[in-house]
Amino acid sequence: MAALSALLFFLVDQRTQVWLIATNNQPWMAVAKEIVTPFGKFDRIVGMLAILWLTGHLWKNTRCKQAAGLAMTSLICAGIPVLALKFLTHRPRPLVLPGHVHSALSGYYQSFPSAEAASAFAVALGISAFFPKSRIPLLFVAVMIAAMRVLRLAHWPSDAVMGAAFGCVGYLIAARRLHKKSQM
């Protein structure tokens, strides 16, 4: 993963900054940012998973409860290493102004990897494991969330790609854990 991230950094990240800044000023971007961005936020994702679980509980639908459980476990499995890496790498976001005071706790220096991309992919895969017909729309939304983080200048392209990779790995770990648990 580190090699892929380094390769993307050198091939893509620095070369896209001017284009990203120009794109960010387009009128359609403001609308897209306001529609897509909230879906990648942790509190919104947890809220949606709680609604899915509650729906399953009230309607006695085991698939809804299992999907919410797998998605939440995937979110946790992806989120812990992502948050640790953010604090370890201190990578500045694309639009950190020169002379900005560097602080280990500053969000301006927690770009790598994208937690929103990791969350979106982990949850999309977790839910679609129990609702296979939803896989393509959910993955499309996950890609849009990751892309919007880049277009908002909150992350470099490699941050979003690696966040998505962490989300996929988080899902695989959670699914393996669920599979082992079901065989007991």
Residue 159, in any domain of the structure? yes
pLDDT of 103: 63
* Residue at 26 is within a domain: no
User: CA-based diameter of the chain, in Å?
Assistant: 57
**Based on the structure, what is the number of domains in the chain?**
1
Q: Is residue 23 part of a domain?
A: no
pTM: 0.86
Distances (CA, A) of 97 to 93, 142, 158, 168: 10, 29, 20, 32
* Domain-embedded: residue 158: yes
Q: Which domain holds residue 125?
A: 36-91+103-182
Joined tokens for residue 74: 């995937």
Residue 2 belongs to some domain of the structure: no
The model's pLDDT over 154-178, given as tens digits with 9 standing for 90+, comes to 899 999 999 999 999 999 999 998 8
Residue of 17, 11, 163, 32 whose CA lies nearest to 85: 163
